[in-house]
Amino acid sequence: MREIGIGLIGTGFMGKTHAIGYRAASAIFPGCPGAVLRTVSDINAQAAEAMATQFGFQNWNAEWRSLLEDPAIDVISITTPNIMHREMALAAIAAGKHVHCEKPLAPNAAEALDMMAAAEQAGCVTQVGFNYIKNPLLKLARDMIAAGELGDITGFRGIHAEDFMADPEIPYSWRLDPAGGGGAVADLGSHIIGMARFLLGPISAVNAELDTVIKTRPSAPGASNRREVLVDDIARLTLRFTRGCGGSIEANWVASGRKMQLGFELNGTKGSLVFTQERLNELLHYRTGGSGFTRIETGPEHRPYGLFCVAPGHQLGFNDLKTIEMAEFLMAIDGATRQGPDFREAWEIQKIIDTAIASSKAKNWLNIH
């Protein structure tokens, strides 16, 4: 089986999860090419070195462009702030690499379109880190919907709420820079928008209100002066799906007490599904005519859970979802069907984010083009 050389840019939270996922992929997935951790790059050279040591990268450096010239690197994994995604991705594509880029793909749909166009032109395999939809139970949900088990879908209600920005003393950072994209609507909203699309297909129109709850924040860590916040803390979207039903989505990063309230309830004429990432190994299913909601626990019958554990009830964790993502990406590079989400899908999601922001300013419904 071939091996695939990895060049990773960024050593933060997502950098680490990429490395974990790449390391585990071929052991969990029979037929998955092995990932060779070739080089990790970070503007902080010490961070790159530490990460290379810990995760077993062969090389490390502080010059991400050097990765493009290494013929032993097949894949560039981008885990830097959003604002740097386009430059890095375009360069990687130009260098003939396959590209994994963390979400959201870009600060806006225009940049995402550039990236998508370049990737499709080059024919490279792309992947964007919407890891939560890699959950076997969400694939089950998608398949149940597609098979008509829920009947006609009548409504969707989605949320992604956390509280990591709830404290007004959390200082300004790239996450709060409008040039880098929206606030909660981009950072968290992209996940639940992507999940909605994964389950129900395209969204045709949006009517949104974006709310900046904490108006100013310290301009930097430890700073005494404060800077105005221009992005949203909470976004409330009302939606129309192309398939005909409506829905709503909330993205909220000031939801005190919530660490991972990413979930949905969707209703159809033949039943309903309820999910929350807070209990990621459970899916509630109501079948019209039945006696109540049934709690489905992940088991070997829900692919690819059985590759992680042959017995039911043992549960997957977050890093396992990332491993699925990385394995699917590596197998796609090796010729298997591309599972995505790819740059095109991320561009579609970005358009909805952009339209939500515009809708909030226009105070009106806007179509997704």
Q: Which of residues 302-331 bind its own copies (CB under 8 A)?
A: 308-320
**Separation in Å, CA 70 to CA 39, 97, 306:** 9, 10, 36
Binding flag, residue 226, its own copies (CB under 8 A): no
8 Å CB contact between 355 and 206: yes
Among the residue ranges 49-57, 73-81, 87-95, 219-227, the one whose residues contact its own copies (CB under 8 A)? 49-57
Torsion-angle region of 285 (φ positive above 0: left; ψ -120 to 50: alpha; else: beta) = beta
Number of other CB atoms surrounding residue 1 within 10 Å: 10
> Shortest Cβ distance from residue 259 to its own copies (Å)?
3
Single residue of 2, 46, 56, 215 touching its own copies by CB under 8 A:
56
The count of residues interacting with its own copies (CB under 8 A) is 85
Single residue of 62, 166, 170, 336 touching its own copies by CB under 8 A:
166
> Shortest Cβ distance from residue 290 to its own copies (Å)?
7
8 Å CB contact between 198 and 136: no
Among the residue ranges 102-110, 122-130, 209-217, 332-340, the one whose residues contact its own copies (CB under 8 A)? 209-217
Q: Which is nearer to its own copies, 93 or 159 (CB)?
A: 159
Single residue of 42, 102, 111, 233 touching its own copies by CB under 8 A:
233
- Residue 260 corresponds to which tokens in the numbers above? 């991972």
> Shortest Cβ distance from residue 30 to its own copies (Å)?
6
- Using alpha carbons only, how large is the chain's radius of gyration in Å? 20
Binding flag, residue 211, its own copies (CB under 8 A): yes
Site for its own copies in 95-134 (CB under 8 A): none
Q: Which residues contact 72 (CB under 8 A, 6 or more apart)?
A: 5, 36, 38
Output the furthest CA–CA distance in the chain (Å, rounded): 61
> Shortest Cβ distance from residue 335 to its own copies (Å)?
19
Single residue of 91, 209, 336, 338 touching its own copies by CB under 8 A:
209
What is the spatial distance between Cα 317 and Cα 237, in angstroms, rounded to a whole number?
A: 29
Number of other CB atoms surrounding residue 220 within 10 Å: 12
> Shortest Cβ distance from residue 159 to its own copies (Å)?
7
Site for its own copies in 251-310 (CB under 8 A): 252, 254-260, 265, 267-272, 277-280, 285-286, 288, 290-297, 299, 308-310
Give the N- to C-terminal CA distance of the chain in Å, as an integer. Answer: 42
Torsion-angle region of 79 (φ positive above 0: left; ψ -120 to 50: alpha; else: beta) = alpha
Q: Which is nearer to its own copies, 147 or 311 (CB)?
A: 311
Q: Which residues contact 69 (CB under 8 A, 6 or more apart)?
A: 95
What is residue 224's three-state secondary structure? coil
Among the residue ranges 53-61, 106-114, 186-194, 339-347, the one whose residues contact its own copies (CB under 8 A)? 53-61
Site for its own copies in 340-369 (CB under 8 A): 363-365
Single residue of 24, 40, 115, 192 touching its own copies by CB under 8 A:
24
